[in-house]
């Protein structure tokens, strides 16, 4: 038995929900298999909650909010510090869980999935300790208070990372939460619930209910006692959540789909920019909403770009995610595998030219949801592979004749989550970045920064996560007039 499954089985947590500080049996009997995407075999079965469990979790969160919302900042910071320490202490267990549940290569799980998830907790703690919750401005006292009970809905592609990106700032702000992780990758979330209890999080402050979107997600979104919903997922899921939330006029923060451009300017250092661009597009097997999957390049440099991109793709090692030499495991589930295959076929049918890859599994991999790293060139803006989020290792190279055309192509999408610009002239690159309609722009592949606010324009969502802005999402603003003396301020 896999060590993660053995641990959760022995603890009895696979068939439990976590409500009010206790592991308890869910109200219903529904179950869901956890599939190892590298073998296509079930490795465990989890219990699914329902609307009755959501009611219980929300009630526990509402009761806990009364005290947690007014507890000292120092106390909340100390608790987040313990959560951060426990994640790092159990990093290998988390990495093994993520690799098992969604197929991340173990090296990538160890070096990225878990460490960056821990960073969200650390940053939430640090921002909390310096945030001005009360300020005076022009005769008014401005107080920023926790919004209340928050329903958090997280996806399968970065399972722990997305959980901590929401739970960390929500708890730092003084909110209480009900988490619904993806039922497709629930193991790391169950381990996180163990961390929360072992860290001493008060009962009801953090609650977890596994379940499917139409049942648990919809119940959270429509619940009258939930003050805010934060969802990371597809644009379709975000729309459904917003519709369910509308009658109760709760705040809805959405981090949704993307089709991010990577503009390569004429003066770019191609031997550096192109391999890094391929790596960014294919990171996490392309299963990132901000992956720069449209590489927009000067037409006169197209042949060189194609050669460098093909070389970068050939260096990837696709295979068993448990092996240390593997750089890319399978995509996370059967539905996503079929989606990627369908989109590769669509690219071919619409006339895009394959530079490398194509339909089917890589040679020698007959089982598992493995995808051939695929690069298309001669991609036109109207093609499906240029407009639709694929969520797999598929890159579209698009040629342009001017910087203005490159910007126009970059903005020719319903999405606006992330973008990249490559060029030697910093001023020119910043000028192009200013013209792109997206929530983040990366110039020359900088290091990840957990303080940089993350979120989208257009159908990529609204609201921001990470850093100061991530904390502020969970706060309400109250103006107090006539109280400018020291006693009241």
For the chain, how many residues are written? Answer: 489
Distance, CA of 178 to chain centre = 17
Residue 300, by phi and psi: left (phi above 0), alpha (psi -120 to 50) or beta?
alpha
From 183, 255, 465, 473, the catalytic residue: 255
Residue 357, by phi and psi: left (phi above 0), alpha (psi -120 to 50) or beta?
left
Pairing of strands 149-153, 140-146: unpaired
CB atoms within 10 A of CB 168: 29
Give catalytic status of residue 400 as yes or no. no
> Where do we find the tokens 């020719």?
412
Upper half-sphere CA count for residue 460 (Cβ side, 13 Å): 26
What whole-number distance in Å separates Cα of residue 406 and Cα of residue 408?
Answer: 5
From 150, 289, 356, 400, the catalytic residue: 289
- CA nearest neighbour of 473 among 448, 449, 455: 455
What whole-number distance in Å separates Cα of residue 265 and Cα of residue 259?
Answer: 19
Residues with Cβ within 8 Å of 467's Cβ and at least 6 positions away in sequence, in order, are 123, 127, 450, 451, 452, 453
For residues 189 and 154, the answer to whether their CB atoms sit within 8 Å is yes
Give catalytic status of residue 289 as yes or no. yes
Active site residues: 255, 289
């Amino acid at each position: 038995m896999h060590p993660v499954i053995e641990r959760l089985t022995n603890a009895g947590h696979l068939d439990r929900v976590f409500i009010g500080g206790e592991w308890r049996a869910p109200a219903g009997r529904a179950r869901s298999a956890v599939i190892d995407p590298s073998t296509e075999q079930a490795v465990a079965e989890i219990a699914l909650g329902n609307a009755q469990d959501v009611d219980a979790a929300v009630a526990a969160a509402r009761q806990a909010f009364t005290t947690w919302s007014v507890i000292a900042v120092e106390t909340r910071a100390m608790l987040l510090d313990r959560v951060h320490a426990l994640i790092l202490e159990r990093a290998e267990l988390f990495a093994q869980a993520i690799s098992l549940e969604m197929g991340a290569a173990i090296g990538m799980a160890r070096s990225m999935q878990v460490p960056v998830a821990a960073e969200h907790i650390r940053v939430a703690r640090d921002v909390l300790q310096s945030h001005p919750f009360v300020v005076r401005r022009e005769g008014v006292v401005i107080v920023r208070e926790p919004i209340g009970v928050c329903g958090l809905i997280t996806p399968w592609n970065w399972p722990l990372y997305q959980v901590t990106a929401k739970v960390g700032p929500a708890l730092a702000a003084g909110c209480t939460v009900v988490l619904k992780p993806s039922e497709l990758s629930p193991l790391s979330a169950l381990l996180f619930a163990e961390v929360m209890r072992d860290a001493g999080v008060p009962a009801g402050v953090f609650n977890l209910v596994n379940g499917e979107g139409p049942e648990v997600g919809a119940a959270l979104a429509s619940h009258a006692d939930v003050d805010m919903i934060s969802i990371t997922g597809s644009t379709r899921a975000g729309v459904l959540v917003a519709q369910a939330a509308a009658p109760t006029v709760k705040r809805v923060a959405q981090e949704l789909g993307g089709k991010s451009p990577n503009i390569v300017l004429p003066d770019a250092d191609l031997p550096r920019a192109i391999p890094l661009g391929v790596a960014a597009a294919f990171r996490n097997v392309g299963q990132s909403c901000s992956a720069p999957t449209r590489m927009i390049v000067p037409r006169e440099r197209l042949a060189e770009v194609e050669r460098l991109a093909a070389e970068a793709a050939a260096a990837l090692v696709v295979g068993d995610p448990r092996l240390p030499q593997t750089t890319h495991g399978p995509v996370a589930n059967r539905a996503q595998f079929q989606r990627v295959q369908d989109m590769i076929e669509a690219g071919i049918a619409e006339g895009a030219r394959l530079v490398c890859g194509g339909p089917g599994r890589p040679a020698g991999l007959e089982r598992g949801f493995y995808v051939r790293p695929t690069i298309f060139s001669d991609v036109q803006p109207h093609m499906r592979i240029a407009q639709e989020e694929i969520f797999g290792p598929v890159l579209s190279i698009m040629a342009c004749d001017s910087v203005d055309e490159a910007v126009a192509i970059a903005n020719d999408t319903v999405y606006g989550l992330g973008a990249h610009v490559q060029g030697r002239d910093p001023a020119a690159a910043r000028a192009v970045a200013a013209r792109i309609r997206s929530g983040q722009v990366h110039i020359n592949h900088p290091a990840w920064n957990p303080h940089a606010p993350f979120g989208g324009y257009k159908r990529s969502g609204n609201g921001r996560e990470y850093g100061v802005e991530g904390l502020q999402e969970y706060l309400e603003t109250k103006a107090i007039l006539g109280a400018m003396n020291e006693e009241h301020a």
